[in-house]
Structure 1
Amino acid sequence: MLLIGIAGTRLEVHEREWLQHDACAGVVLFGRNFASREQVADLSAAIREAAPRPQLVCVDQEGGRVQRFRDGYSALPALEGFSRRHALDPAAALALAEDHAWLMASEIRASGVDLSFAPVVDLGWGNRAIGNRAFSDTPAVVAAFTRAYVRGMHSAGMAATLKHFPGHGSVLEDTHFEMATDPRALEVLQARDLVPFAAGIEAGADAVMMAHVTYPAVAPEPAGYSPRWIGDILRGDMAFAGVVFSDDIGMKAADSAGGVGARVDAHLDAGCDAVLVCHPELVEDALVAVRDRRLDPRPVERLLGRGTRDWESLLADGRYNESRRKLEGLV
């Protein structure tokens, strides 16, 4: 199945046609698709009305520099700020991270959007793409925050997505623009970068997003289209039974698989349940690539928002204003 990107703040005729395709499982929204809370809700409704089957509407609303919806939404602090508080008062810091998750997920669900791809559970070791998106550089600390964040998202009725498996934070390169290779052995990764993922899976995380990083000591291809990483390690050794997303195949590091069709095939053949095609100019080729495949939307449909929430009920929730107040000092 595919999660696609669209160009603007309303659906165009050809985008409505994309949503009719059997392989289209949903849409990933970006800043280019946002004008206001009301517009996002209308766009989400239009996406669902245009498709013959349920559609998963997604966004990256992590906080800090990765927050696609801003005007009318809480200014969410980057995750890195929680680490400093954890050094002083671990319990209070974890409770605040859970509030962050609940607040983020509640606002997104009240907008008619099902899923924010969160939390980032990469280690904060200076990667150019991750930066202050990571909770900490310490595996046990990130693991503790991961459990709290998953709990907060679930309490707001949103599925949690751990990213970027098996860990993007310990390489320098930004895979949006360059290839990335991590030479460490599996045993080292298991003792460090995989610790937060194991904690998140134990906490009931619903999905995992793969990294476009190659770990040649473990497998020859990037993790996102590696049967070893997805089938043997994530599904087998770590017993993960949820949904596996690719990262965006429009990123530079995905070029190693070949053209658009080859990228889609490689990720699906390796065991991804859904491939992200976030650049609208790549969607047509991606749809062609899956036309002869046996498609199964059921795994992705399990991530649809749990229960309903609107802004009126959210604003009347005492936890809402209290959470916003407590988080203001971290922005």
Structure 2
Amino acid sequence: MGTVRKTRLTRIAVALGAAAVLVACSPGGGGAAPELTATSSPVPSAAPTPTPAPTASPTPTPSPSPVPQTDEARAAALVAGMSTIERAGVVVMGHAPGTDPAPLVGLLESGPQGLILMGDNIAADPDAQRLVSDAVASSATPAPLIAIDEEGGDVTRLPWDGLPSARELKGADPSAVTAAFDARADLLGAAGITVNFGIVADVPPDEGSFIFSRAYGTDPEIVADAVRAAVAGEGDRILSTLKHFPGHGAASGDSHSSIPTTDETYDEWMGSDAVPFAAGIDEGAELVMVGHLRFTGVDERPASLSPEWYRILRDDLGFEGVAVTDDLGMLTSSGEAAYADPVANATSALGAGADLVLTVVGASAEEHARIVDGIAAATERGEIPADRLAEAAERVMTLRLAADPGE
């Protein structure tokens, strides 16, 4: 994997200089005139033959060494050359069933430029899985992002992942969390997967919470230590994702079938549920997954569609990476009529500040294509500002460049 974290996304400047000093000196000489006699004609003394001065060769002007471009600069150049529909494809991640690479590549060719692997996409063993991933990766340059939910425990896609999960790691020393995610990153890398939607930063209030078995504890500081350790464990081999911002613990309920709601205020959130997300961001997580969670003390809209929550993520927590929505199919399954249209949800999320929209549940190849077309059309109509779509595409393309081993 190429460089990803801030500490490794640096610009290297090289300057060369040259100087030449040429010293030319001409030798001089002369002799005394010979004595003259009456019978002799004066013989003029021979003039010394001048030694030609050396001709100075012009000093060559050194060619400046090329300055390597950062992934951000390269991404901006790539996006600048794209059409609106191409940019729309960059910001959509979809899913197609099965382990046959042909339909998976076909999905990417139909519009979406990212792929999430679910349980039905997992082959019999790591070698077979790598063949699937390699076929997908070779379908575009730079390679599309290939993501997976690999938390361990309750949410495990790879049958050969027997590593400890949050259930076993609650209250453990952070070094144990680092070791688990270090080994998990090896498994994912060997399978050709580049993004893990696998670090749960939620702080459930108690054991009765929907998210409790997948969280690292009920104390914000303990969860923050575990989140920081998980990001460090994945290192520069896998793109790390924190979820489910701004916190599934505060908003009780299952977001797969409803929109969990809390009246927690911003100040309360900053002192509790925000703490693990801030820790993971400071550690260098490249993605934050924004959940379909309603914090009425901040915004009546679900966070995934809320400009205010994206502002908080950027301005208050200092996140500069890719903000990805939780599966938009979950939002349409909430039963709320306002969120029944997947295309409208995708355009609203991007307009609010999302960089990558994820669509899995109930999404066919035709629906994926409709979402990409809808994003492009909304941009052409001005509903999504053109620079907002470009910004999102640049962020996603930066990750693709960083994660592509061929780049």
In structure 2, C-alpha distance between the alignment counterparts of 1:289 and 1:301, rounded to whole Å: 20
Name the SS for the 1:62 alignment partner: coil
Question: Could you tell me the TM-score, scaled by structure 1's length?
Answer: 0.83
Relative to its length, the structure with more helix (as a share) is 1
Question: In the TM superposition, what whole-angstrom CA distance separates every residue of 1:101-122 from its partner, at most 9, and x where no partner exists?
Answer: 1111111011111011121110
Q: C-alpha separation between the residues in 1 aligned to 2:122 and 2:208? A: 28
Task: State the distance in 1 between where 2:345 and 2:277 align.
Answer: 25
Is 2:317 the counterpart of 1:238? yes
1:16 corresponds, among 75, 100, 105, to: 105
Q: What secondary structure is seen at the aligned counterpart in 2 of 1:144?
A: helix
Residue 52 of structure 1: how far off its partner (Å): 5.4
The TM-score with structure 2 as length reference comes to 0.68
Q: Residues of 2 paired with 1:291 and 1:17: CA distance?
A: 20
295-304 vs 133-142, which moves further: 295-304
Matched, 1:28 2:116: yes
For 2:144, the equivalent position in structure 1 comes to 55
2:380 corresponds to 1:290: no
Q: Does 1:77 align with 2:157?
A: no
Distance in 2 between residues matched to 1:127 and 1:203, nearest whole Å: 30
Q: Give the aligned partner of residue 98 of structure 1.
A: 178
What amino acid sits opposite 1:223 in the alignment?
Answer: A
The letter for the 1-side match of 2:399 is L
- Secondary structure of 2:97's aligned partner: coil
- Structure 1 unaligned residues grouped into runs of 5+: 86-92, 309-331
The one-letter code matched in structure 2 to 1:6 is A
Cα distance between partner residues in 2 of 1:192 and 1:288: 40
Q: What's the CA shift string for 1:130-184, capped at 9, x where partnerless? A: 23110000001011111111111115x1221111111002333101012211111
**Structure 2 residue 357 is the aligned partner of structure 1 residue 275:** yes
Report the Cα distance in structure 2 between the residues aligned to 1:283 and 1:128, rounded to whole angstroms: 33
Describe the shift of the 1:275–1:254 C-alpha distance in structure 2 as closer, same or farther (beyond 3 A). farther
CA distance in 1, matches of 2:282, 2:249: 21
1:249 to 323, 328, 347: 328
Distance 1:213 1:29 in 2: 24
Alpha carbons 2:114, 2:146 under 8 Å: kept: yes
1:196 is displaced (CA, Å) by: 0.6
Letter in 2 for 1:29: L
Alignment partner, residue 39 of structure 2: none
| AA at the equivalent of 1:31 | G
Query: Which residue does the alignment assign to 1:313?
Result: none
d(CA) in 2 for partners of 1:131, 1:283 = 32
* Residue 181 (1) aligns with residue 266 (2): no
Query: Over the residues paired in the alignment, what is the CA RMSD in angstroms?
Result: 2.2
Aligned residues: 296
Q: What is the aligned partner in structure 2 of residue 44 from structure 1?
A: 133
Amino acid of the structure 2 residue aligned with 1:302: T
Match of 1:80, SS?
A: helix
How far is the alpha carbon of 1:129 from its aligned partner? 4.2
